[in-house]
Amino acid sequence: MHILKHTSFDFLRWRWHAIAASWIVIIAGLVTIATKGIPQGVEFAGGTVVIEQFERQVSVQQVRDALDRHYSGGGQNTVVQAYGAPEARQVMIRVPAVGSESGTSLSREAQQVEDALRQGGLPGFQRLRAEIIGPTVGAELKSKGLWATALSLVGILAYLAFRFQFSFGVGAVVATIHDLLITFAFLAFFRYDLTLNVIAAILTMTGYSTNDTIVIFDRIRENLRLMRRESLRDVINASVNQTLSRTIITSGTALLTALALFFFGGEVLHGFAFTMVVGIITGTYSSVFIAAAIVSLWPSSAPARAAAHAPAGLGAAPAPPARRPGAPAAAAPPPASQPQRRSKSPRKARAS
């Protein structure tokens, strides 16, 4: 079974359009963040903790549902926990702080929580306590997380520059930064809270994006040895086409799971799943339209011929396949001596 067979789309033809479109989304995102900010979850912003004594037994779910529906900015922002033994009928509710505020709003927020509970039709309750609570995740996590991400990008750049070429490293890293910006833009557009889960999704998505880019780069590197007469542009196009069905299947399966989480996972997983859905789409898109485009646009000395880019004998480059359908490579005879067939043991050689 094949999803796609022997395609030969001219992907690079659209690179400028794609780059322009990306810029528009990124700038719109940055403007949104600058004007409205990214709302932060209770983990980052801190907020108010209210402990209520209920007259009758209520489930955490009931309380959560009431807050979801009637507390402004409820949903995944709130933390609801049974406080002590269930028989005590006490519930602890944490809601995030709205803007910068001090003790004066404490009773107002507690009041809003109680209004939401009342609107949700919950039985009688009495406030035991209301307190201000600080963030569970300090500013340290944000600054260190940012540093860690930045340094890991530098690490990836160095690795790819070593294994491929410098321009490939730049392409992959720029594509990943692009994906981060796009994801933040969408988080800002759709007003999702920045929570630890969203951060985890962002990190996962970063890895996914790099992975996707490297797979395509790998094929470009392989084809650069095979298609010495073609222009770099043709080599890149051929490589993207050859890996296209793999790209679609992989992003498809990843997207399937992310969508399942988004649609069936409930309020709690919404932010996480949303980030992943955006991340997978942009990660796949950027591998072709940003990463490969940057490699094609890189001002190297005489980039017109693929031969100029062929790696100078990095042992890792896999052997050229005999014939690649759908690729212009069909015209180019494979080199007579196949360098380094990676047959790992004599046993396998016999098998063939």
Partner 1 sequence: MQQNLRWKLVTILVVLVGFGSVGVYPLVAAWRGWTKPAVLLEKQLKLGLDLKGGVHLVLRVNTDDALRIETETEMERLREELSKRGVTFTNVSAPDPTHFRVEGVPPAQDALFRQVVADQNLTDKFDRTPAVNGTYTFTMKPNVQVSLREEAVVQARETIERRVNELGVTEPSIAQQGQGGDQILVQLPGVTDVERAKGIIGSPGLLELKIVEQGPAASREALVPGGQVPSGMEVVPGVSGPGDPTGTVYYLVRRVPVVTGRDLRNARPTLDENNQPAVSFTLTTDGARRFGKATGENIGRQLAIILDGKVQSAPRIESRITSDGRITGSFTQEEVQNLALILRSGALPARMDYLEELTIGPSLGADSIRSGVIASIVGLLLVILFMLAYYRLSGVNAVVALIFNLVILLGLMAYIGAVMTLPGIAGFVLTMGIGVDSNVLIFERIKEELEAQRGVRAAINAGFSRVFWTLVDTHVAALISCAFLFQFGTGPIRGFATTLFIGLVSNLFTSIFVSKTLFELALARRRQVATLSI
Instruction: Identify residues 64-83 at the interface with partner 1 (CB under 8 A).
Output: 64-65, 79-83
206 touches partner 1 (CB under 8 A): yes
Interacting span for partner 1 (CB under 8 A) from 15-23, 108-116, 141-149, 292-300: 141-149
List the one residue from 35, 264, 331, 336 that touches partner 1 (CB under 8 A). Answer: 264
CB of 110 to partner 1, least distance (A): 13
**305 φ, ψ to 5°?**
-100, 140
Cβ–Cβ contacts within 10 Å for residue 112, how many?
A: 20
The answer to whether residues 173 and 291 touch, using CB atoms and an 8 Å cutoff, is: no
- Piece of 15-23, 181-189, 201-209, 226-234 that binds partner 1 (CB under 8 A): 201-209
Q: Which residue reads 């002590």 in tokens?
A: 84
By CB under 8 A, residue 23 contacts partner 1: no
Q: Which of 207, 231, 298, 305 binds partner 1 (CB under 8 A)?
A: 207
Residue 214 or 306: the one with the smaller Cβ distance to partner 1 is: 214
Structure tokens at 98: 């709205």
What residues are paired with 92 via a beta bridge? Answer: 51, 81
Task: Find out whether 275 and 261 touch, Cβ atoms under 8 Å.
Answer: no
Residue 89 within binding range of partner 1, rule CB under 8 A: no
Q: Which of 8, 105, 149, 231 binds partner 1 (CB under 8 A)?
A: 149
Q: Check residue 342 for interaction with partner 1 (CB under 8 A).
A: yes
Cα separation, 276 vs 282, in Å, equals 10
165 binds partner 1 (CB under 8 A): no
Q: How far apart are CA 267 and CA 315, in angstroms?
A: 50
- Binding residues for partner 1, how many (CB under 8 A)? 104
Structure tokens at 88: 């005590």
Footprint of partner 1 on 92-121 (CB under 8 A): 92, 103, 106
Binding residues for partner 1 restricted to 41-60, rule: CB under 8 A = 46, 49, 59-60
Q: For residue 99, what are the CA distances in angstroms to 40, 74, 96?
A: 10, 15, 9
